[in-house]
Each structure stands twice: as C-alpha cells, then as structure tokens.
C-alpha cells in the first residue's frame, strides 16, 4: 500500500483527548493531527519521537493532518487504524496472503447479522468473512491485541462464530504494524474477556492469521505471517 501523497515529517509533542496529537514540523510550525487510534497506544508513544503525518484536503475536517506512524527504537510503527483495512483488502484482492488466495470476488464492509465485517471474499465453492484488526502493542517479542478493553472486538468474534456455524469460512486477520516482534497473542491482562472469546472462537473453527507489516514513509508492505499463541 503506497501513500498517495508525500508524508510530512515532524516530532511528537503530545497525544491527548485520544484523537488528537500536537506535532512540531521540521520548519518549527506546531500543528494538531487527527489520531485514528482510540486505544491506549501503549508501547508506541514517546514524546519527541519522529512521526509522519499525511495532509488532509477536506474543508469539513478541523484537523488538516492525519498521524500515520511513529519511530520507536529505530522502528517505524504504523498507528493509523484505517490503513490495515486498506492493506488487507488489497492483499486479499491480489492474492498476497497465502491462506487467503483464490477468491474471485472481494468486497469491503459487508454486513452479517448485527455486525459489519471488514472484508467478504467468495469464489465458486465458499464465502469467507474476514475481520481485520490493527496491532501495535509490544511486550517483549510479543505483539498483543487489544491495547484497551474492546467490547466491539469481542462482539465481532462472537459473530464470526455464527458465520462458521452457518457453514461459511470465518477469519480473524491481525495486521501487526511493526517489525520488532516475532509472535502474536491476545492481551490477556488488558482484556481477559476478549482473550477468552478469541480462544473460544479458535476452538470453534475461526482461523487466526497474524500478518506482520513493514511500515515506511513511502508505503506499508505485508512481509510474513507470524506464529501465535492463545
């Protein structure tokens, strides 16, 4: 996934009110950027760290920038929660994920029951619903999800179980936007209910695919599938 416009470099002053971040650009100007990540952003927040913003040309938007990534310990971490959905859609559409190849029709934002899933893919033999989650939390070598309690995430898992019960394929796709981790797991200590539901989903046939992405100021690429523990 290439960034359409050239990103703007700066340094993080602070993130506040969950959805806002003050950034000092290289020319000294201080701007406020929109932060799409509503979680705690634990392990990917560091004042004065390098960041990149994307410019926004929308007269209705109060903030004229979106915060895309931050550099922690020499590694770029993607924090825009909208990018994993775009990345996953492109990857499934173009057969870039080994376990999700072979679909002739791929759609975004498809409803099932009382939930809306990020991707629905189908071919002559099956229908597959895919929920995509952005992962940035790092503890040791582990990439963990979520970084804050998520009742919505738990609901998605419960609905994926219903998808499977209805004879369709159900996939939980985690996009890990950092390369300094080597294994994925649920964040048991942060949201034990989510972790418990993920294990139940897995035991009921829901597939777990953690894909690691390399984030740079020019593009985001999926590089490999990581092992997982539940």
Query: Counting every residue, how long is the chain?
Result: 230
- Give pTM, 2 decimals: 0.94
Shortest CA distance to 193 belongs to which of 127, 149, 142, 139?
Answer: 149
Domain range 8-77, CATH class: mainly beta
What are the b/e assignments for 187-224, b being 16+ CB within 10 Å?
beebbeebbebbeebbeeebbebbbbbbbeeeebebee
Given this model, what pLDDT does residue 59 score? 77
Task: Specify the domain boundaries for CATH 3.40.1350.60 within the chain.
Answer: 83-225
Task: Specify the domain boundaries for CATH 2.40.50.580 within the chain.
Answer: 8-77
Q: Report helix angle 151-165 to 192-203, nearest 10.
A: 10
Residues 184, 186: Cα–Cα separation, whole Å: 7
> What does the radius of gyration of the chain's CA atoms come to, in whole angstroms?
18
Phi-psi region of 64 (alpha: psi -120 to 50; beta: other; left: phi over 0): alpha
Shortest CA distance to 123 belongs to which of 108, 142, 106?
Answer: 106
Q: Is 4 exposed, middle or buried (0-12, 13-18, 19+ CB in 10 A)?
A: exposed
Residue keyed to tokens 């960041």: 51
Tens digit of pLDDT at every position of the chain (230 positions): 999 899 999 999 999 998 999 999 999 999 999 999 988 999 999 999 999 999 998 878 889 999 999 999 999 999 999 999 999 999 999 999 999 999 999 999 998 888 889 999 999 999 999 999 999 999 999 999 999 999 999 999 999 999 999 999 999 999 999 999 999 999 999 999 999 999 999 999 999 999 999 999 999 999 999 999 99
Residues 107, 121: Cα–Cα separation, whole Å: 6
CATH number attached to the domain at 83-225: 3.40.1350.60
């Amino acid at each position: 996934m290439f960034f359409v416009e050239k990103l703007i470099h700066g340094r993080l002053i602070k993130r506040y009110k969950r959805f806002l971040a003050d950034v000092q650009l290289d020319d000294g100007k201080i701007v406020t950027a929109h932060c799409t990540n509503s979680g705690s952003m634990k392990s990917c927040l560091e004042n004065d760290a390098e960041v990149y913003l994307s410019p926004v040309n929308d007269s209705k938007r109060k903030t004229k920038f979106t915060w895309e990534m931050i550099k922690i310990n020499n590694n770029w971490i993607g924090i825009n929660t909208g990018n994993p959905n775009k990345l996953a859609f492109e990857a499934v559409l173009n057969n870039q994920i080994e376990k999700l190849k072979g679909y002739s029709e791929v759609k975004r934002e498809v409803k099932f029951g009382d939930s809306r899933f990020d991707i629905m893919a189908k071919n002559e033999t099956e229908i597959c619903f895919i929920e995509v989650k952005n992962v940035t939390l790092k503890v040791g070598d582990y990439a963990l999800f979520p970084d804050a309690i998520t009742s919505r995430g738990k609901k998605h898992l419960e609905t994926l179980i219903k998808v499977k019960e209805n004879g369709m394929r159900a996939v939980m796709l985690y996009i890990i936007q950092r390369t300094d981790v080597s294994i994925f797991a649920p964040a048991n200590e942060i949201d034990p209910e989510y972790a418990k539901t993920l294990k139940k989903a897995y035991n009921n046939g829901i597939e777990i695919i953690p894909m690691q992405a390399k984030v740079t100021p020019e593009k985001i690429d999926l590089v490999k599938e990581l092992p997982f523990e539940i």
